[in-house]
Amino acid sequence: MKPRVFRSKGAWIVGWIWLVFAAFNAVDLIVRGSGAASLIAAAVLAVLTAVIYVTCLRPGIFVREDGVLVRNPLRDAFIPWAALGDVRVTHAILVESGDETIRAWTPQVSTRELSRSRRRADAAEALAGRTHAHWVAEQIVEERVRARSRGGDSAASPSLTWSSVSLAALGASLLFVVAAAVAAL
């Protein structure tokens, strides 16, 4: 089964637009830039690009055959189907496993989106109070039911890990800023 990925489409688009913008600016800085000002501009561009990657392109919920991977900006949480508890939606999707509650960075529900979905409830009772995040939560619960019917590891437990790629991207970009500032002195 290919993992199904749920994320904020708006953030994904903004992230890719930023990467194209940053690439054009990086090429311009390489071709025409010189001196300390160009080095500082490149460092700032690197930091902003790392932040955009971490906050817009990386987060998502990955529904896999063996469980759910919640990828937040700096941490990953993998919950096997056997360990998955309740899935709720507040302003974010909350995935419970034992004593742990993992808050998914994306997709989130804005107050405006929630109000709009409740106003539409009069027109379509079946969709009452449903937002994109509610639909994603339902997809996770449905997949849990299917996975448990196939049988699974009852001794499985969730795992929480730091994202080495995110931390490296942010750390390297900050080191670049420090190096640019020292070189500018």
Residues 51 and 79: their CA atoms lie apart, in Å, by 26
Q: pLDDT of the chain along its 185 residues, tens only?
A: 788 999 988 899 999 999 999 999 999 999 998 888 888 899 999 999 999 999 999 999 999 999 999 999 999 999 999 899 999 988 889 999 988 899 999 887 766 666 666 566 555 555 555 777 888 888 888 888 888 787 755 557 889 999 999 999 999 999 999 988 888 87
Strands 159-162 and 100-103: unpaired
Cβ burial, residue 135 (10 Å; 0-12/13-18/19+): middle
Token pair in block for residue 16: 């890719």
DSSP symbol at 3: P
Indicate the average pLDDT of the chain. 86
Q: What is residue 142's predicted lDDT score, i.e. its pLDDT?
A: 87
In this structure, how many other beta carbons lie within 10 angstroms of the beta carbon of residue 35? 9
Give 87-134 pLDDT, tens digit per residue: 998 888 999 998 889 999 988 776 666 666 656 655 555 555 577 788
12-16 contacts: CB < 8 A, separation 24 or more? 12/56, 12/57, 14/52, 14/56, 15/52, 15/53, 15/56, 15/57, 16/57
